[in-house]
Amino acid sequence: MMEKTANVMFKKKWLRQSINIFLYGSIKQRSFMGILFQKKVNRCGSLQDCVRLAYGTFNVKPQQVREEITELLGMLAADKPKRILEIGTSGGGTLFLLSRVASSDASIISLDLPGGSFGGGYSSLKIPFYKIFATQHQKIHFVREDSHLPQTFQVIQDILKGCKLDLLFIDGDHTYHGVKKDFEMYNGLVKKGGLIAFHDICYTHETACGGEVYKLWRELKKCYPHHEEIVKNRKQGWAGIGVIFNDNLSSK
């Protein structure tokens, strides 16, 4: 029985790896998926087009309620963040969309744990594909590590070279202690006037993936009066984006 299960798991892993090699295996940094996606990106004339493209591309589709992420993007587009840290990239949907509203010379960090819970991270084979998201002068950094490790924090600091973040987007470990640790470790890297956004602040049904971000959010919103909740439907049972405006974090 155990041998049969191991066999099935091996076959699944092998199949996933083969599909990744077929789709993303790069020939001189250009993958089949990359060439296709790049053509479609070039045809996008507006942010709405980019959102449509992301949701219409099976392996990029953001794990977000469309109206909610669109509202957050609208909020960001006005100030065009220059430095972004995303914890939790998975299929790259939010990474792509954030790159669309970032400044033309932005530095964007994708931090994701290979095989991590709540999405499973991404294969290193996908990196050339994700690099395509960067516009001409943008730079995307890929840190495939556990966000909770001190050495990972050090890597992020090295990338930032003393500069502060305009946006910290937390969508990684969704357990109460996991998301709390992300907030506690990285909020000090956000500049005064910057934003900290959490995904999945809505109460999550126990039958779902067990997300507990809402528990932390309930605590944080009491401490940080300058916040906003972007929620399409209070009864949706997942998603919802909570934003803290970092004008008072320094007093905490």
Ligand X SMILES: C[S@@+](CC[C@H](N)C(=O)[O-])C[C@H]1O[C@@H](n2cnc3c(N)ncnc32)[C@H](O)[C@@H]1O
Q: β-strands 190-199, 227-230: how paired?
A: unpaired
- Least CB distance to ligand X at residue 186 (A): 11
Q: Which is nearer to ligand X, 209 or 223 (CB)?
A: 209
State yes or no: residue 64 binds ligand X (CB under 6 A): yes
Using rule CB under 6 A, residue 211 touches ligand X: no
Minimum CB separation from ligand X for residue 57, in Å?
A: 11
Write out the DSSP string of 65-94. -HHHHHHHHHHHHTT--SEEEEE--TTSHH
| Residue 76: Cβ-neighbour burial (10 angstroms; 0-12, 13-18, 19+) | buried
List all residues 6 or more positions away from 158 whose beta carbon is below 8 Å from its beta carbon.
Answer: none
Q: Assess 138 for contact with ligand X (CB under 6 A).
A: no
State which H helix or E strand residue 132 sits in.
none
Q: Shortest Cβ distance from residue 70 to ligand X (Å)?
A: 13
Q: 153 with 123: CB under 8 angstroms?
A: no
Instruction: Give the type of residue at 213.
Output: V
Q: From 24-32, 119-127, 221-229, 237-245, give the range in contact with ligand X by CB under 6 A.
A: 119-127
DSSP state of 119: T
Indicate which single residue of 34, 119, 128, 194 sits in contact with ligand X (rule: CB under 6 A).
119
If the CB atoms of residues 166 and 182 are measured against ligand X, the closer one turns out to be 182
* Residue whose structure tokens are 């998975």: 90
Q: Are 96 and 50 in contact (CB under 8 A)?
A: yes
Q: Does 175 bind ligand X (CB under 6 A)?
A: no
Asked whether position 212 contacts ligand X by CB under 6 A, the answer is no
Element (H, E) at 134: none
Nearer to ligand X, 121 or 194 (CB): 121
Minimum distance of ligand X from residue 210's CB (angstroms): 12
111 forms part of the interface with ligand X (CB under 6 A): yes
Candidate residues 116, 128, 194, 242; the one interacting with ligand X per rule CB under 6 A = 116
Q: Kindly state whether residue 112 participates in binding ligand X, applying the rule CB under 6 A.
A: yes
Quick one: which H or E segment has residue 30? none
> Is residue 113 a contact point for ligand X (CB under 6 A)?
yes
Residues of this chain that interact with ligand X (CB under 6 A) are 62-64, 87-91, 93-94, 111-113, 116-121, 146-148, 171-173
